[in-house]
């Protein structure tokens, strides 16, 4: 029982990281129809920036994020303006490939600026052990789970209640119709990139605090794909839930099956799920007419 | 200036090319490739072989992604299956390369059925990520089935012979790979103009409409998976012949993304485009190296510490710029140039 | 025209038969190749490797070179991908015309270069990947410096068993699922067999894993209190941090990459005073002396990236240069290989055990010293001298 609880708790932590990263993917996909292959790199870049801010100003977590998030949003906006906006009207496929090129660039730039050395990034989060029931946690792990809960709620409320959120759903639904009713589609795209970068920075900082800051952090982007797919690519809340589910399944499969199965468990799950539901658990079904 | 160009029979319509000019250019190109080893540097031949293998892989992927519209990120997995099949059959079972190489293609094709069947209902990026999942799983299985694949130790591949001629290095390897490349391209061109190729195009353009026209979606989609993977498997087998040692690190997932980049940069859906894209991306690092050697100051510290990283970044920049300014790819560039010359001196 | 090309190439062929029997050597210089991890997350290892070659070359050149010829290092990046190592070495051989190879990257990368090395009879000193796959079967021109991970782990576990004597010891291992992990487990296996240790659990993980929570929970459940930690860098740190979370009291044996300053920076906060076994010196006068010499040739900025991999390639190039020097003015690959094979008790000034290649495996420097980390001040102290296991 003790063992099971431990597995579930560590699965929640890993799943929260997947969920936060996956939400960033889903947001951009929902608004622009593009899978941003550079999202993992964005996660890495923003956490390195945050690391520099932290070493320079020695801030604690919340003030640190208060500075990191706006900077990340500015980066998201810049990247959208410089790389994605000029591609407007091109096939989705070409835009996806641009994000692949962007990913290569960001990876190189990160190593050029910060070097390949790994860092210990604590963001001044205490490292004493906290017990919930009998299960031990590091505070940073709890931060990660709480961050996912808060962001999932905020994301849902944003899309449900705010003007911008509703406009974003309209664009996702039908871009041309949205244009016709006076929604600035390009502004929606830019907003999606900004918010997605903000999510990336939260995910990046908390991931790095929990699992160290290393220049292959970008790989977590690929590792989060099962969460995005499981939730349905255009469902932001689904991505958060998908992350948690994948995290817990990975942890349990490693615990009870073992020998590296964790690294592929998520992918096996999505293959099975997609056979039954080709649009993920919460994704919207596309209805086509010939 | 050419004025009208009329095709009057079905045979003419589906002919590979009715232009003697095109035929003679193709002949000239092949002659050039045959003559290349007589003058070219050995390192250049090595690069050419790698580029031709990339061409084979890209043509295979193009069949699935460009022609049939099924996006695949599973390329690295099928390359690995092909390479391992070839290596295991040659080294552990003593098969001659002329048997083990087609077997590499066949096994990859069979494995692709395992990917294809669950993927039938999937489209677009859902499919892309499912194939990515398969690549992850294939790597995992190769690593964890030591009895068959030698697991983490990798396999040396040596002694491939055709009629007592060692074909794993230098010119023999070059000519062997060249022959396979030409075969694959001709095969792909012929397939594309057949009933099957046209069925694939119909599926790409609209699969439901295609079904209405009487195209069996299950059959043709699985066929696309199999034929594409067969070719990719052969490319994998050739990789094992060239490098002469394979382990799982050779087949990193990044290969899948590079392969997609090749066919998109080349011009999606076109075989010539896939080939051009593969050659372009294979030589890009060398070209960047060359440019750096011309302009770089080898004594500055920034340069020496970061030159390798900067080269990597330049690779990304070229891809982005290309997509930005030539979204229909290299083949689009080629078409523009051709149009310009055949219409000259008139603008259009 | 065509006739001229044929004639020309015939002439070239004929001339190459006379002069270019051994490329890379001119009257003034000798070109030594270095295929290395210069890009990507593992590039801090490659940079340290490169630094070692650079220091050794500068030192040799400052002392008159090898019989008057300067050593020139040509570095190629392989990004830790075997197929690129193959391409990089092809370029070094065909375009840069190197005489010998000193820096090599990981085990699989060396294996991918092996056919080329054998074909060209390229004198090669492997220092960064002393894996059994490299020297068994032995390749005539390949010389390996360094102990295997097997010996390193056996040595550490032996020390723990004999000197630290943990009560009710239960041993456990976590290792990477690749060629490197296999040798780590071999050392563990040997210790378990020879000392009749209680083998609690054996876990494998896939390269690139960051989250070790489950593995550590399994270790804890198995009651492990001597942990053979085969994870590296961030992975090793994550294992230890999870262990601390579960309150595991354990003696930890670690991979030698865990004595590099960046790794220590990650792992030390967990508070485990782990052991490492290494075939180069980490502390003591030999290292201080080396640093002093190194300062003459490289900048402080470069020196910041120095770690154990710098010492091993430094030693490698010194040995190679020594062998080339023995050949005199008529420097050929065959002679260099012959001289390398005769090296006996080459003194590395305390940076490692003495180097002797006059054995069947052409393997040396296999003696391991055991060090222990002081997690509080992030320094190592030597527990044993260099010992063969």
Sheet bearing C70-77, strands edge to edge? C70-77, C29-36, C100-103, C124-126, C142-145, C363-364
The pLDDT value given to residue C278: 94
Q: Name the token pair of C45.
A: 């290892």
The pLDDT value given to residue C236: 95
Contact across the interface for B46 and C87, Cβ inside 8 Å: yes
What gap in Å lies between CA B275 and CA B184, rounded to an integer?
11
Average pLDDT over residues C56-68: 93
Q: Is B140 on the interface with A (CB under 8 A)?
A: yes
pLDDT tens profile A49-69: 999 999 999 999 999 999 999
Give A206→chain C minimum CA distance, Å.
13
pLDDT tens profile A188-204: 999 999 999 999 999 99
Is residue B211 scored above 80 in pLDDT?
A: yes
Is residue A1 scored above 80 in pLDDT?
A: no
Average pLDDT along chain C:
90
The pLDDT value given to residue B322: 84
Reduce the DSSP state of residue C371 to 3 states and report it. strand
The pLDDT value given to residue A62: 95
Residue B22: CB atoms within 10 Å: 11
Average pLDDT over residues A27-53: 94
Q: Is C119 on the interface with B (CB under 8 A)?
A: yes
Cα-Cα-Cα-Cα dihedral of C117, C281, C349, C151, to 10°? -50
DSSP state of C69: B
Ranges B6-20, C72-86, C152-166: which has the least confidence: B6-20
**H or E element, residue A51:** helix A39-57
Q: Is C38 on the interface with B (CB under 8 A)?
A: yes
pLDDT tens profile C235-262: 999 999 999 999 999 999 999 999 999 9
Give A2→chain B minimum CA distance, Å.
30
Average pLDDT over residues B324-342: 83
What are the Cα distances from residue A60, in Å, to A50, A200, B151?
A: 11, 19, 46
Is residue C7 scored above 70 in pLDDT?
A: no
Non-local CB neighbours of A3 within 8 Å, separated by 6+ positions: A255, C217, C221
pLDDT tens profile B103-158: 999 999 999 999 888 888 888 888 888 899 999 899 999 988 989 999 888 999 99
Give A267→chain B minimum CA distance, Å.
5
pLDDT tens profile B36-82: 998 888 899 999 999 999 999 999 999 999 999 998 999 999 999 99
Average pLDDT over residues B306-326: 84
What gap in Å lies between CA C57 and CA C42, rounded to an integer?
24
Is residue C356 scored above 60 in pLDDT?
A: yes
Non-local CB neighbours of C382 within 8 Å, separated by 6+ positions: C281, C282, C283, C284, C369, C370, C371
Helices marked H in chain B — which ranges? 10-14, 20-39, 42-62, 75-91, 97-119, 124-144, 146-149, 170-192, 195-205, 207-212, 217-243, 254-266, 271-295, 301-325, 329-343
Give B45→chain A minimum CA distance, Å.
27
Average pLDDT over residues C307-335: 93
Q: Which residues of B298-324 are buried (b: 16+ CB within 10 A; e: fewer)?
A: eeeeeebbbbbbbbbbbbbbbbbebbb
pLDDT tens profile A147-202: 999 999 999 999 999 999 999 989 888 888 999 999 999 999 999 999 999 999 99
Contact across the interface for A251 and C214, Cβ inside 8 Å: yes
The pLDDT value given to residue A94: 84
Is residue B2 scored above 60 in pLDDT?
A: no
Is residue A277 scored above 80 in pLDDT?
A: yes
Give C167→chain B minimum CA distance, Å.
35
What gap in Å lies between CA A238 and CA A243, rounded to an integer?
8
**Residue tagged 């982007």 (tokens):** A221
Is residue B303 scored above 70 in pLDDT?
A: no
The pLDDT value given to residue C21: 52
The pLDDT value given to residue A289: 63
Which of B121, B136, B221, B252 should be substituted to probe chain A, the one whose Cβ sees the most A Cβ atoms within 10 Å? B136
Residue C60 or residue B3, greater confidence: C60
Is residue B181 scored above 50 in pLDDT?
A: yes
Q: Is B215 on the interface with A (CB under 8 A)?
A: no
Name the band, by pLDDT with cuts 50, 70 and 90, for residue C194.
very high
Q: Is C375 on the interface with A (CB under 8 A)?
A: no
Residue A78: CB atoms within 10 Å: 13
Is residue C294 scored above 50 in pLDDT?
A: yes
What are the Cα distances from residue A273, in Å, to B96, B119, C51?
A: 42, 11, 51
Cα-Cα-Cα-Cα dihedral of B64, B65, B71, B73, to 10°? 80
For residue C308, how far is the Cα from the chain centroid? 8
Is residue A224 scored above 90 in pLDDT?
A: yes
Average pLDDT over residues B223-241: 96
User: Which contacts (CB < 8 Å, 24+ apart) does range B45-50 have?
Assistant: B45/B170, B45/B171, B45/B174, B46/B242, B46/C87, B46/C90, B46/C94, B47/B282, B47/B283, B47/B286, B47/C87, B48/B174, B49/B173, B49/B174, B49/B177, B49/B242, B50/B242, B50/B282, B50/C87
Q: Is B53:B242 a contact under the CB 8 Å cutoff?
A: yes
Average pLDDT along chain B:
88
Q: Is B298 on the interface with C (CB under 8 A)?
A: no
ipTM for the assembly: 0.91
Contact across the interface for A274 and B118, Cβ inside 8 Å: yes
Name the band, by pLDDT with cuts 50, 70 and 90, for residue A93.
confident
Give A222→chain B minimum CA distance, Å.
9
Ranges B223-232, B289-298, C124-133, C199-208: which has the least confidence: B289-298
The pLDDT value given to residue A287: 65
Q: Is C91 on the interface with B (CB under 8 A)?
A: yes
The pLDDT value given to residue A251: 93
DSSP state of C139: P
Which of A13, A40, A103, A117 should be substituted to probe chain C, the one whose Cβ sees the most C Cβ atoms within 10 Å? A117
Non-local CB neighbours of B290 within 8 Å, separated by 6+ positions: none
**H or E element, residue A43:** helix A39-57
The pLDDT value given to residue C13: 44
pLDDT tens profile C11-40: 444 444 444 458 889 989 999 999 999 888
Percent of chain B with pLDDT over 70: 95
Residues 201-220 of C with CB under 8 A from B: 206
Q: Name the token pair of A193.
A: 């990139």
Which of A21, A137, A262 should be substituted to probe chain C, the one whose Cβ sees the most C Cβ atoms within 10 Å? A262
What are the Cα distances from residue B282, in Å, to A177, A224, B102, B252, C35?
A: 43, 29, 25, 16, 20
The pLDDT value given to residue B347: 61
Is residue C314 scored above 60 in pLDDT?
A: yes
Q: Name the token pair of C188.
A: 């563990």
Q: Neighbours of C (≥3 Cβ pairs closer than 8 A)?
A: A, B
Q: Is A237:A28 a contact under the CB 8 Å cutoff?
A: no
Task: Count how many residues are written for chain A.
Answer: 290
Is residue A3 scored above 60 in pLDDT?
A: yes
State pTM to two decimals: 0.91
Contact across the interface for B153 and C81, Cβ inside 8 Å: no
What gap in Å lies between CA B89 and CA B99, rounded to an integer?
9
Bridge partners, residue C69, by sequence? C66
Task: Find chain B residues with C-beta within 8 A of C51's C-beta.
Answer: none
Bridge partners, residue C173, by sequence? C202, C228
């Amino acid at each position: 029982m003790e063992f099971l609880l431990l597995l579930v708790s560590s699965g929640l932590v890993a799943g929260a990281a997947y969920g936060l990263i996956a939400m960033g993917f889903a947001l951009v996909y929902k608004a622009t129809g593009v899978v941003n292959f550079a999202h993992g790199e964005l996660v890495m870049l923003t956490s390195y920036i945050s690391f520099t801010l932290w070493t320079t100003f020695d801030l604690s977590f919340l003030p640190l994020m208060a500075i990191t998030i706006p900077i990340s949003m500015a980066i998201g906006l810049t990247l959208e303006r410089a790389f994605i906006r000029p591609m407007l009207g091109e096939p989705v496929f070409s835009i996806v490939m641009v994000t692949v090129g962007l990913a290569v660039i960001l990876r190189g730039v990160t190593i050029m600026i910060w070097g390949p050395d790994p860092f210990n990034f604590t963001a001044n989060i205490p490292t004493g052990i906290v017990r919930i029931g009998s299960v031990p946690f590091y505070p940073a792990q709890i931060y990660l789970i709480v961050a996912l809960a808060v962001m999932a709620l905020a994301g849902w409320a944003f899309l449900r209640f705010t003007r911008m959120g509703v406009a974003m759903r309209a664009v996702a639904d039908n871009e041309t119709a949205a244009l016709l009713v006076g929604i600035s589609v390009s502004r929606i795209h830019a907003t999606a990139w900004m918010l997605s970068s903000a999510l990336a920075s939260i995910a990046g900082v908390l991931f790095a605090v929990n699992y160290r800051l290393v220049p292959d952090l970008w790989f977590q982007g690929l590792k989060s794909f099962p969460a995005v797919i499981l939730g349905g690519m255009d469902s932001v809340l689904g991505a958060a839930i998908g992350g948690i589910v994948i995290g817990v399944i990975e942890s349990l499969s490693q615990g009870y099956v073992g020998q590296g199965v964790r690294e592929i468990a998520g992918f096996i799950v999505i293959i099975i799920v997609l056979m039954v539901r080709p649009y993920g658990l919460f994704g919207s079904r596309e209805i086509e007419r010939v | 200036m050419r004025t009208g160009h009329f095709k009057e029979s079905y045979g003419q319509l589906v002919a590979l090319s009715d232009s003697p000019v095109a035929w003679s250019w193709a002949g000239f190109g092949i002659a050039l490739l045959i003559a290349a080893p007589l003058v070219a540097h050995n390192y250049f031949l090595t690069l050419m072989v790698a580029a031709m293998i990339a061409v084979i892989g890209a043509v295979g992927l193009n069949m699935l992604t460009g022609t049939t519209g099924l996006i695949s990120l599973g390329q690295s997995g099928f390359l690995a299956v092909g390479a391992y099949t070839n290596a295991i059959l040659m080294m552990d079972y003593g098969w001659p390369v002329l048997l083990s190489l087609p077997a590499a293609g066949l096994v990859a094709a069979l494995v692709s059925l395992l990917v294809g069947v669950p993927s039938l209902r999937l489209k677009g990026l859902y499919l892309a990520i499912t194939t990515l999942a398969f690549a992850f799983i294939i790597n995992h299985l190769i690593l964890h089935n030591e009895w068959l694949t030698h697991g983490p130790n990798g396999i040396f591949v040596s002694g491939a012979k055709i009629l007592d001629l060692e074909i794993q290095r230098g010119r023999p390897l070059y000519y062997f790979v060249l022959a396979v490349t030409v075969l694959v391209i001709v095969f792909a061109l012929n397939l594309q103009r057949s009933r099957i190729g046209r069925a694939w195009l119909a599926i790409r353009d609209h699969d439901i409409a295609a079904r209405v026209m009487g195209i069996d979606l299950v059959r043709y989609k699985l066929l696309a998976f199999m034929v594409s993977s067969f070719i990719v498997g052969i490319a994998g087998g050739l990789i094992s012949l060239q490098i002469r040692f394979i382990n799982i690190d050779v087949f990193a997932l990044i290969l899948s993304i590079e392969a997609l980049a090749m066919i998109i940069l080349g011009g999606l859906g076109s075989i010539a485009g896939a080939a051009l894209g593969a050659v372009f991306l294979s030589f890009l690092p060398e070209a960047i190296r060359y440019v750096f050697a011309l302009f770089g100051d080898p004594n500055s510290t920034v340069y020496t510490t970061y030159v390798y990283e900067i080269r990597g970044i330049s690779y990304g920049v070229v891809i982005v710029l290309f997509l930005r300014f030539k979204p229909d790819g290299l083949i689009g560039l080629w078409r523009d140039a051709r149009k310009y010359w055949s219409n000259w001196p008139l603008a259009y | 025209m065509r006739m001229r090309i044929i004639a020309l190439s015939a002439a070239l062929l004929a001339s190459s038969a006379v002069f270019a029997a051994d490329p890379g050597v001119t009257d003034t210089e000798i070109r030594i190749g270095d295929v290395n991890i210069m890009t990507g997350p593992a590039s801090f290892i490659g940079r340290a490797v490169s630094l070692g070659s650079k220091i050794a070359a500068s030192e040799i050149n400052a002392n008159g070179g090898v019989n008057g010829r300067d050593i020139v290092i040509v570095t190629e990046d392989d990004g830790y991908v075997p197929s690129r190592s193959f391409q990089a070495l092809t370029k070094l051989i065909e375009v840069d015309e190197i005489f010998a190879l000193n820096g090599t990257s990981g085990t699989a990368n060396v294996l991918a270069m092996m056919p080329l090395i054998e074909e060209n009879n390229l004198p090669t000193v492997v220092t960064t990947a002393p894996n059994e796959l490299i020297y068994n079967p032995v390749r005539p021109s390949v010389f390996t410096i360094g102990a295997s991970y097997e010996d390193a782990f056996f040595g550490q576990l032996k020390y723990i068993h004999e000197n630290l004597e943990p009560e009710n010891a239960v041993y456990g291992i976590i290792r990477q699922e690749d060629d490197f992990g296999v040798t780590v487990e071999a050392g563990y296996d040997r210790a378990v067999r020879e000392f009749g240790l209680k083998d609690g659990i054996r876990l494998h993980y896939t390269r690139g894993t960051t989250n070790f929570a489950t593995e550590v929970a399994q270790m804890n459940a198995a009651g492990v209190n001597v942990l053979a930690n085969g994870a590296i860098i961030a992975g090793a740190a994550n294992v230890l941090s999870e262990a601390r979370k579960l309150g595991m009291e354990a003696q930890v044996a670690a991979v030698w990459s865990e004595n590099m300053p960046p790794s220590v920076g990650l792992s030390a906060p967990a508070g485990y005073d782990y052991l490492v076994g290494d075939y180069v010196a980490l502390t003591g006068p030999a290292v201080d002396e080396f640093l002093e010499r190194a300062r003459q040739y490289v900048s402080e900025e470069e020196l910041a990236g120095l770690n154990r991999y710098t010492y091993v390639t430094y030693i490698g190039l010194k040995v190679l240069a020594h062998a080339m020097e023995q050949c005199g003015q008529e420097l050929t690959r065959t002679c260099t290989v012959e001289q390398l094979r005769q090296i006996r008790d080459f003194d590395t000034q305390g940076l490692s055990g003495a180097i002797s290649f006059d054995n069947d495996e052409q393997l040396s420097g296999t003696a391991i010293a055991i060090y222990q980390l002081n997690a509080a001040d992030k320094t190592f102290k030597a527990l044993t001298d260099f010992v063969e296991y």
